Amino acid sequence: MSFRYSFTVFLFFILGGCEQLLVNGLGCNWGIQATHPLSPDIVVQLMKENGIDKVKLFEADPRAMQALGRSGIQVMVGIPNDMLAGIASSVRAAEEWVSRNVSYFLSTRGVDIRYVAVGNEPFLTTYNNRFTQTTFPALQNIQAALIKAGLGRDVKATVPLNADVYQSDTGVPSAGNFRSDIHDLMVSIVKFLNDNGAPLTINIYPFLSLYADPHFPVDFAFFDGTASPVVDGSTTYNNVFDANYDTLISALEKNGYGSIPIIIGEVGWPTDGDTNANTQLARRFNQGLINHINQGTGTPKRPTPPDVYLFSLIDEDAKSIEPGNFERHWGVFYFDGTIKYPLSLEHGRNLTAAKGVRYLQRQWCVMSPDANVMDPNLPERINFACTYADCTSLGYGSSCGGMDVRGNASYAFNMYYQTMNQRRGSCEEFGNFSIITRIDPRVQGSSCRYEVMIDNGRHERVRNPGTNSGGNILCSIVSWGFVLVLIVCCYLI
């Protein structure tokens, strides 16, 4: 497809997230698919210190919800896709979910719940219609349950949708309409949301336009000007965000709902796992987005800026990487709440790192200086490490992608060692190939980080990263595949 309409179709998407940047506050998706998650109390304090007053959760995690109680942060709480069928088929199930996850936390814990996100991008083409029949009934049942609980005016049900639910056949925003295979369903959902005073929630990812199309003009993904604008009659679009958003507005106008409120549920830029995923481009995009929204000018079709939920707050090393290795690196902050790159927020506010984080001992598991990089058993050891730990930073074009075999092995061994909470014997599992050191292996000037994990008091064997998101074996195979290519190349050299 040409770049002129590729911005309206996204075939790859994410299941996790950070949220909204507005003149009146910064919001963020908070995902918890991590082997060593930050304490929810620390995360909530991190949000408050950075002026984040809105957060979107992908599930009603009890610890996260409790930490948000009386925090002053507005909450959108999510229902995972695998729960949609049960809720769609039973009003009672919807009522029980609302009672347990909305009414309870509102009345007992003081959580300021504003929205319920029913599913997450359920109409992705990659789902092959798995959730097409259950999403709308689940939305209806949750809304009915909210009304029955006396919450219908204050808490609204919505459905975060991928931007691939609409498209432009001619490549310009004014030609936007809903995808033909779900057109009638989308109109029904939009009508229902509009009738209940709820917003339409859409996720927009310019990064994925660039990732999916090698001919996509890079500067069109950002907010600082382009040599390849999209001209739509008398309107010129200089960035894909505005063009994509107005494609949605056109689709809504064509179907009689041009004024429905809209929330951008996810938008952001990853920092690792792909050649275009790095801190420089992430800062360029997110700073441009913040400035763009805070200017208050909106888009040509909607002069008022939408609520925007930045994706995401913190990296998640246990997410599925089926869409790409970048999936685990969307955070504005690293997994431990440290700052990746500077951002200027409203009123000149700078990012503030998390406080009170406890770490495991400052030691690393690396390849032994005496080990032979030509040993035929080494690939098997690295494969084992990357099956149980996150090796996505070793991929081509990633932050650790330029190392030699010894560096690759050391990174993999250490990620396994840290993921296993530095458990006694975990470094020794690599035999004579590995050794524990108290000297940071990071090479000066390199972007490659050798982590020391958070000490969250768990010292049991950690599950394979990805098992709680469904990617699992595929994730580890993909991670290892990059490492294997690097090692083979080094052998040939």
Nearest to 64 by CA among 96, 98, 41: 41
The pLDDT tens digits of the residues spanning 65-110 come to 999 999 999 999 999 999 999 999 999 999 999 999 999 999 999 9
DSSP for 262-290, written as a single string: EEEEEE---SSSBTTBSHHHHHHHHHHHH
Q: Which of 19, 95, 121, 429 is catalytic?
A: 121
* Torsion angle of the four alpha carbons 270, 276, 282, 285, in this order, in degrees rounded to the nearest 10: -120
Q: Which of 266, 316, 429, 451 is catalytic?
A: 266
- Tell me how far apart the alpha carbons of residues 135 and 346 are, in angstroms, rounded to a whole number: 37
Per-residue pLDDT at 26: 65
The reply to whether 121 belongs to the active site is yes
- According to CATH, what is the number of the domain 364-492? 1.20.58
Band of pLDDT at residue 297, cut at 50, 70 and 90: confident
Rg (CA), the chain: 23
Per-residue pLDDT at 338: 98
Q: Which of 159-163, 273-277, 294-298, 305-309 has the least mean pLDDT?
A: 294-298
Question: Does residue 374 surpass a pLDDT of 60?
Answer: yes
| Mean pLDDT in residue range 385-389 | 97
The reply to whether 266 belongs to the active site is yes
Per-residue pLDDT at 465: 42
φ, ψ at 65 (rounded to 5°): -65, -45
Tokens of 187: 């109109």
More confident residue, 312 or 4: 312
Question: Does residue 5 surpass a pLDDT of 80?
Answer: no
- Tell me how far apart the alpha carbons of residues 415 and 398 are, in angstroms, rounded to a whole number: 16
The pLDDT tens digits of the residues spanning 436-493 come to 999 999 988 889 999 999 998 853 444 444 433 333 333 343 444 444 444 434 433 3
Band of pLDDT at residue 347, cut at 50, 70 and 90: confident
Domain-by-domain residue ranges, the chain? 3-348, 364-492
The pLDDT tens digits of the residues spanning 26-71 come to 689 999 999 999 999 999 999 999 999 999 999 999 999 999 999 9
- According to CATH, what is the number of the domain 3-348? 3.20.20.80
